[in-house]
A and B are shown apart, each in its own frame.
Chain A
Amino acid sequence: MHKIVSAIFLAENIKKIEIEAPRIAKKRKAGQFVMIRVSETGERIPLTIAGSDPDKGTITLIVQGMGKSTRELNSKEAGDSIHDIVGPLGEPSHIEKFGTAVSIGGGLGAAIAYPTAVALKEGGNYVITINGARSKELVILEEEMKAVSDEAYITTDDGSYGFHGFVTQKLQELIDSGKAIDYVLAIGPIPMMRAIAEVTRPYKIKTMVSLNPIMVDGTGMCGGCRVSVDNQIKFACVDGPEFDAHLVDFKNLSDRNKMYLPEERQSAEAFTHKCNLLKQA
């Protein structure tokens, strides 16, 4: 059992949770994740380690309520516990002095990109961050991103804050302005990552994306997390989760993530029903 030390909402439906996990706090590197199981009957789900405090022995997760498991996790408060955490898993982000590095986070992707942006800065890069959200209320980690960036941009789809438009448009604008970009990291919804790959492809800018296939064990045993990269099978949990954006088969990933839609809906509805009953009681 792992105790939750603090839990606060950063935006509607997005919660920042600090959990006791001393071994993981000591070992984790940017880009790695944990598998967690909220309860005895829960699923094992992957969540990126957004930060850690080795002295306190805690790690931070930033969680978006999607379906049953993430909403159940987000219903926990400081003092509650979760059943299992294992990690750190996955290959750490590859960090070197690229020169100018752009870290792009779409929606919750900002939380996943943040630790790597920190590492890129520490690695001596000129760091530009582009943080995209649908609208102003959904922007997360603005201050944190600013603190690690040489240039920080916010984009919103509806123009309610920062640049009016998509992260791809902002990236294109930077390229058009003549800025030499050596490296791009893009994390967010699959259509966004695919679009970024198309923006950078003509310029041959090295572009990495962090993939989010459905996982079970997260240790390289089941093959459920396989993705197609350069027409080869790769296991995202041990070979990734970061891969070369120009080689990823995004269509296949997006299709495969739909495998359990009916079951996910069923679980989510049952969970909503349970929450409503609890509210009434």
Chain B
Amino acid sequence: MDAQSITTKERLAIPRQEMPSQNPEVRSHNFQEVNLGYTAELAQQEALRCLQCKDPACIKGCPVNIKIDQFIKFIAEGNFLGAARKIKEDNVLPAVCGRVCPQEDQCEKTCILTKKYKSVAIGNLERFAADYERETGNVELPAVQPSTGKKVAVIGSGPAGLSCANDLVQLGHAVTVFEALHELGGVLMYGIPQFRLPKEIVQAEIEGMKKLGVVFIPNAVAGRSVTVDELLEEEQFDAVFIGVGAGLPWFMGIPGENLLGVYSANEFLTRVNLMKSYQFPDNDTPVFNCTGKNVAVFGGGNTAMDAVRTAKRLGAEHAYIVYRRSEAEMPARIEEVHHAREEGIEFLMLMNPLEFIGNEAQWLTGAKCLRMELGEPDDSGRRRPVPIKDSEFILPIDTAIISIGNGSNPLIKQTTPDIEVSKRDTIVVDINTMATSKDNVYAGGDIVTGGATVILAMGAGRTAAAAIHEKLMRKKEH
């Protein structure tokens, strides 16, 4: 069958191509990537399943409106580089998004095939095209416009900051990115583990941006090392984009949360990913030695899945997800839940922790939990979990990892009081331009939305870049 002559019936007859992955027995003991990626044959087979709709529903489900039908057509025809470049017109980090986007809630949800058949594996194809381009050494640096003489400061090097910087530098502005940590990439580096998103991929993207002329300053905490006002006034930046992400992990407010052995997911993942404590003692930073121990992660999102699968890889005997609702309500990507289960993660659903219990030395020994059942639907339409009477029991655990979300990073608010924030301390913006209440200051990503997704952060960075460009060029004409 070839891309020209294939009939719709033949397309529909092709089964959705499975993503090859490492054997669960093996991968639950290593940090290498779980998914191995499509081969060219698998990718072309999968691409042939796309009906090439006249009015593609998938594109409407994509937060940045990638021309999905067009890039898939290129893959079907064997023009893999063409596919990668088509994606890059709308998405600057396709190798990342192909791996971490919740496609089942976006493009694959709206794909026309989803109702009766299985959707086209759009994410897997996106990943394939981007990997092909990078691995064959065919990444082309985009053209950079002549210098505008304007300077823009970007605060934070997560997906929001990176995409904003990438667009602005191509438009001819001088861009400097200030990053608080010693590594660049935000959650892509310190949050999402190697086995799901190899760090080399993120670094390759950043290297590309450096070649375009973006200047990165790590170890620079905006608000402390330099304030937004100082950037605008003393360092004469014409505009500032704030993409500092979420911050301040939430705790549950139950007794025993300060016992030894209780972590936030951020701390646990930062130790392992950013500080590479899975290679202790070759790297100096330690993490709780999970070997043969029982580890429970409280929460049901992507962060919780990453933490529990990391604990398993560090040798945990039992690695549990404890969640107060049922599996259907878990916000994590379906693929992660599926992979976690294959790796032997134990799911304890409808269970609510009441208290952490410790020994003499204040080390955690267990979590007192209450069983729940689903009651009437709440405001969000989800059935509310209600406690089952007298169902308390103690789950014996050595480590607890709390993964119930984050508040907002307080530093910008503390040091730049004239930027308006919401009750939840997120930065308030005009969603068409990402402009904040302060002149020439823009913001986007998790600091605006609260914990969301990579693609939304990226989209926000690009919207801001377009608005900043427009404003700076308008000023120039006067």
**A interface list, Cβ under 8 A from B:** 23-24, 27, 37, 41-44, 68-69, 83-89, 216-217, 219-224, 226, 228, 233, 235, 238, 249, 252, 255-256, 258-260, 262-264, 266-267, 270
CB distance from A58 to the nearest CB of B (A): 16
Of B281-289, B333-341, B366-374, the segment with at least 4 beta carbons within 8 Å of chain A is: B281-289
Q: Which residue of B lies closest to A238 (CB)?
A: B410
Task: Note all chain A residues with C-beta closer than 8 A to B266.
Answer: 221-223
Contact status A256-B260, CB under 8 Å: yes
Does B382 make an interface contact (CB < 8 A)? Answer: no
A221 to B362, CA, bound (A): 24
A219 to B251, CA, bound (A): 17
Task: Note all chain A residues with C-beta closer than 8 A to B258.
Answer: 226, 228, 233, 249, 252, 256
- The answer to whether residues A263 and B275 also contact, given A87-B225, A89-B224, A217-B181 and a CB cut-off of 8 A, is no
Contact status A255-B284, CB under 8 Å: no
Contact status B225-A221, CB under 8 Å: no
Task: Note all chain A residues with C-beta closer than 8 A to B281.
Answer: 263, 266-267, 270
Contact status B226-A27, CB under 8 Å: yes
Task: Name the contact of A41 in the complex, choosing from B283, B286, B409 (C-beta under 8 A).
Answer: B283
Contact status B267-A216, CB under 8 Å: yes
Task: Note all chain A residues with C-beta closer than 8 A to B284.
Answer: 41-43, 68-69, 267
Task: Note all chain A residues with C-beta closer than 8 A to B282.
Answer: 41
Contact status A233-B257, CB under 8 Å: yes
Task: Note all chain A residues with C-beta closer than 8 A to B285.
Answer: 43-44, 216
Of B141-149, B215-223, B428-436, B456-464, the segment with at least 4 beta carbons within 8 Å of chain A is: B215-223
Contact status A219-B275, CB under 8 Å: no
Does B451 make an interface contact (CB < 8 A)? Answer: no
Does B182 make an interface contact (CB < 8 A)? Answer: yes
Contact status A258-B251, CB under 8 Å: no
Does B194 make an interface contact (CB < 8 A)? Answer: no
CB distance from A175 to the nearest CB of B (A): 32
Contact status B260-A259, CB under 8 Å: yes
Does B248 make an interface contact (CB < 8 A)? Answer: yes
Task: Note all chain A residues with C-beta closer than 8 A to B170.
Answer: none
Does B301 make an interface contact (CB < 8 A)? Answer: no
Contact status B225-A43, CB under 8 Å: no
Task: Name the contact of B260 in the complex, choosing from A27, A83, A88, A255 (C-beta under 8 A).
Answer: A255
Contact status B224-A216, CB under 8 Å: no
Does B3 make an interface contact (CB < 8 A)? Answer: no
CB distance from A66 to the nearest CB of B (A): 13
Task: Name the contact of B286 in the complex, choosing from A86, A238, A263 (C-beta under 8 A).
Answer: A263
A69 to B286, CA, bound (A): 12
Task: Note all chain A residues with C-beta closer than 8 A to B251.
Answer: 223, 226, 233
Contact status B286-A23, CB under 8 Å: no
Task: Note all chain B residues with C-beta closer than 8 A to A233.
Answer: 251, 257-258
Per-position binary interface string of chain B over residues 186-227, scored 1 when its CB falls under 8 Å from any chain A CB and 0 otherwise: 000000000000000000000000000000001111001110
Task: Note all chain A residues with C-beta closer than 8 A to B226.
Answer: 23, 27
- The answer to whether residues A86 and B270 also contact, given A221-B409, A226-B258, A233-B257 and a CB cut-off of 8 A, is no
**B interface list, Cβ under 8 A from A:** 180-182, 218-221, 224-226, 247-249, 251, 257-258, 260-261, 263-264, 266-267, 270-271, 275-276, 280-286, 288-289, 361-362, 409-411
Task: Note all chain B residues with C-beta closer than 8 A to A87.
Answer: 221, 224-225
CB distance from A101 to the nearest CB of B (A): 25
Which are the 3 A-B pairs with shortest beta-carbon distances? A263-B286, A222-B267, A86-B219
- The answer to whether residues A86 and B249 also contact, given A222-B267, A252-B258 and a CB cut-off of 8 A, is no
Task: Name the contact of B247 in the complex, choosing from A220, A224, A267 (C-beta under 8 A).
Answer: A220
A258 to B360, CA, bound (A): 13
CB distance from A134 to the nearest CB of B (A): 27
A265 to B221, CA, bound (A): 32
Contact status B220-A86, CB under 8 Å: yes
Task: Name the contact of A217 in the complex, choosing from B218, B263, B270, B288 (C-beta under 8 A).
Answer: B270
Task: Name the contact of A27 in the complex, choosing from B224, B261, B275 (C-beta under 8 A).
Answer: B224
Contact status A84-B218, CB under 8 Å: yes
Task: Name the contact of A221 in the complex, choosing from B219, B224, B270 (C-beta under 8 A).
Answer: B270
CB distance from A211 to the nearest CB of B (A): 13
Contact status B182-A84, CB under 8 Å: yes
Q: Which residue of B lies closest to A252 (CB)?
A: B258
Can you list 19 pairs linking A and B with CB atoms under 8 Å apart? Answer: A27-B224, A37-B182, A42-B284, A44-B182, A83-B182, A86-B221, A216-B275, A216-B285, A217-B180, A217-B181, A219-B247, A222-B270, A223-B249, A228-B258, A235-B248, A249-B258, A266-B281, A267-B281, A270-B281
Contact status A216-B181, CB under 8 Å: no
Task: Note all chain A residues with C-beta closer than 8 A to B249.
Answer: 221-223
- The answer to whether residues A219 and B283 also contact, given A24-B225, A88-B224, A233-B257 and a CB cut-off of 8 A, is no
A260 to B275, CA, bound (A): 15
Task: Note all chain B residues with C-beta closer than 8 A to A262.
Answer: 289
A267 to B283, CA, bound (A): 10
A68 to B225, CA, bound (A): 27
